[in-house]
A and B are shown apart, each in its own frame.
Chain A
Amino acid sequence: MTATAPTTPTPTPAAARAPRQGGRAGEWFLLYGLSTLGALVLSALLVEATGGDWRPVVNALLDGSLRKPGRWGETLGTAAPLLIVAVGTIISGKAGLINIGQEGQLFVGAAFATYFGFLIGGPGPLNVVLILIFGAIGGGLWAGVAALLKFWRNVPEVLSTLLLVTVGGQLVAYGLSQPWLLLAPLADRGNRNQVSTQLAEDNRLPRPEIFGNEVPLAAVIAVALAIIVSLVLARTVWGFRLRMLGRNPRAAQRSGVGQTRYGAAALMLSGAFAGLAGAAMLAGGGFSFGNYQLVPGFATNIGWTGLLVALVAREKALVAIPVAFIFAGLRTGSSFVGATGVEGRITDVIQGFLVLALLIPPAVMFLRDRRRARAAATERV
């Protein structure tokens, strides 16, 4: 056997040429379409296999998220915190850090917002702003614990952020059992245990009514934040440094972008966004989120789902806007699914399948691009 002759198959002319832009868009479209379809078919098969029927489920989802009166406002209200969490995740993701503790950061942020909101108790609109700011501070500090552990003690942030979710949840639950922290005075809570005092009318984020739907102001804030972050990351020096850190920490370090400084900032900022989302849920969430009160389990998976939104949007803040709306729709729709005789948790499954399926196209494209590049390289030799 001769030692020469590389085993790479001779590239077809089409593959060797630099791929055309239009062709690539078509490929992307096809891949994304196929994997989305696959995820949906898989979910439908699961419903059928457990003795349900998938058509009423789809109907219920659409009714619950869009068609029934007042529902699209509800979906917007759910999409807002999801989007804020996702935007924060995108910031830390750009810096190459994996923050997966948003659920805890959100809850701690909401607790900070509640505590300081009542402690200061300023006049209406000013206090709303303060509540939001303290929410962000709370979430940022909670992520700061993970940042401290990472850059001082070398603990992987993947794990510390995750473990801090449980710790944070329990800490806030503790706060909710102590009258000197978060627990409402007996007169305000009736016989319901473990709730904080309800925010006063003038301390809430407004939800103006448009076409019979309550459109929460939080949604507007969320979209604005997504646009701002997208611009900051793409167009400013700070954003550039963050991206450099994410792509090549060593090169970043050599050119003066300290990993500790910028990494910790990115991690804390992403926590701050999660905390802000928590505060926005508290001040503007209405009945979907604790009815302007902090309760145990207040975060109700918004942190996890927001993280998934960021993953699906592939670190693009603007793409996260529609994704957040779709995921919010799955969530608001799920309360209508129960009436069809299929367990409402099917939406969690649909969501999981969708996210997993949407990971495939970029990976496939990455491998194809590499194969093409290599084929082109061997041809030049």
Chain B
Amino acid sequence: MGAFFDAIIDIISSDSTYINGALFAAFLIFAASGEWVAERAGTLNISVEGMLLAGAFASAVGYDVTESMPVALLAGIVGSLVVAAVQAEMSHRLSADQFVVGLTLNILVFGLAGFLDNELEPTTKHAGRWVIPVLSDIPLVGDALFAQRWPFYLLFAVIPLTWWVVYRTRWGLEVRSVGENPQSADVSGIDVNRRRRQSIYYAGFTSGIGGWFLIFGVIGLFEDSVVGGRGFIAIAAVIFGGWTLRGTIAGCAVFAGALSFRLSVQGLGYEVNSELLQSLPFVVTLVGMALFAHRVRAPAALARPFVRGLK
């Protein structure tokens, strides 16, 4: 047992655990912040997985064509917004079932990305590293937070932006009201389904950044397995966080911890069965939700379609 605790201490005191953790957390936060907005408006948007993959692939292609990372970012956002558009228009204009649409989109994007990846084979590379002086000298977390590749720092723009948009603008208030009580929102003159569509577009926007970040800030090349179910962990983080932005970010940090722990165990040379280890983040996510999901209150109209006159 002593060796076990030594191993744990070894892992939590290694820099790479924190660096990987910060990378995973950033990726999850990009996805989860937009997903959180969509859920506050009443859509349990499972196509976030597809949005991330579309964003990653489109940005890889964008970089392959133009060799410019900002253009790749734009391409990623556009790619992700296309998925968002299908989800939004089909589930909140045509009122098709949101889960069915989302699931189908995930499968379609996976097929499309795999197919087009084989046809186009985009080449990409890592973005440059920005080391912020002084701050990056903080022990343990300094390197993780302040010596990353530059796409990482967009995180410090996306989180405040999301907070401001949802809590400090009229649009954000309307989005929240649409997720809580669409009938009341409707009679007070808010176009419920329009707000819901817009919130899905917002999720597409941040997921596009997330997909781009994944390629240029983390992995450096595109494969169809880059997202690999982590979009679903982002959704779980929103639920884990009780539909608050703070909680969502905390959830992302916890689940990212599990993802990074898994890498560190292998990286530091400990012998653990790799199959069991790979399922660890997902088990942690499930346990986390089992512990917290019944304590929090979901937006009252979450996953309920709105059709005027039907309750």
Contact = CB atoms under 8 A, between A and B. Distances in A.
Interface in B213-267: 229, 232-233, 235-236, 239
B96 A359 contact: yes
A167 B286 contact: yes
Interface in A357-373: 359-360, 362-364, 366-367, 370
Contacts of B120: 50
A154 interface: yes
A364 B94 contact: yes
A166 B105 contact: no
Contacts of B286: 149, 155, 160, 163-164, 167
Contacts of A367: 94-95
A345 B290 contact: no
Interface stretch (B64-72, B158-166, B175-183, B272-280): B272-280
Nearest to A307: B103
Contacts of B103: 100, 307, 311
Contact of A158 (B46, B105, B229, B293): B46
A356 interface: yes
Contact of A159 (B108, B275, B276, B289): B289
A363 B94 contact: yes
A349 to B, nearest CB: 5
B23 to A, nearest CB: 20
Contacts of B307: 370
A50 B46 CA distance: 29
A370 to B, nearest CB: 7
Given A155-B290, A158-B44, A163-B285, A352 B111 contact: yes
A359 B279 contact: no
A149 B289 contact: yes
B115 interface: yes
A346 B289 CA distance: 37
A170 interface: yes
A353 B221 CA distance: 27
Contact of A360 (B96, B111, B112, B309): B96
A163 B307 CA distance: 31
Interface in A300-321: 304, 307-308, 311
A177 interface: yes
B279 A170 contact: yes
A95 to B, nearest CB: 14
B104 to A, nearest CB: 5
B190 interface: no
Given A100-B99, A153-B293, A348-B110, A173 B104 contact: no
B141 interface: no
Contacts of B168: none
| Most chain A beta-carbon neighbours within 10 Å: one of B111, B233, B309 | B111
A98 interface: yes
Contact of B90 (A164, A165, A359): A359
Nearest to A148: B290
B116 interface: yes
B275 to A, nearest CB: 4
Contacts of B112: 348-349, 352
A351 B111 contact: yes
A51 B107 CA distance: 24
B104 A311 contact: yes
B118 A156 contact: no
Nearest to A370: B307
A346 B115 CA distance: 6
Contacts of A51: 119
Contacts of A169: 279
A164 B232 CA distance: 11
A164 B95 CA distance: 28
Contacts of A356: 86, 90, 101, 104-105, 108
A356 B50 CA distance: 14
A255 to B, nearest CB: 19
A24 to B, nearest CB: 18
B100 interface: yes
Given A349-B111, A364-B94, A343 B282 contact: no
A170 B278 contact: yes
Contacts of A307: 103
A359 B285 CA distance: 31
A159 B97 CA distance: 16
B283 interface: yes
Contacts of A163: 229, 232-233, 236, 282, 285-286
Contacts of A98: 99
A167 B236 CA distance: 15
A105 to B, nearest CB: 15
Contact of B107 (A170, A174, A348, A363): A348
11 contacts: A155-B294, A162-B46, A162-B229, A163-B229, A166-B229, A174-B276, A311-B100, A345-B118, A351-B108, A352-B108, A355-B108
Given A163-B236, A163-B282, A167-B283, 5 more contacts: A50-B120, A163-B229, A170-B279, A348-B111, A359-B90
Q: Shortest 9 CB-CB distances between A and B: which pairs?
A: A352-B108, A348-B111, A170-B279, A154-B294, A363-B94, A174-B275, A363-B96, A173-B275, A50-B119
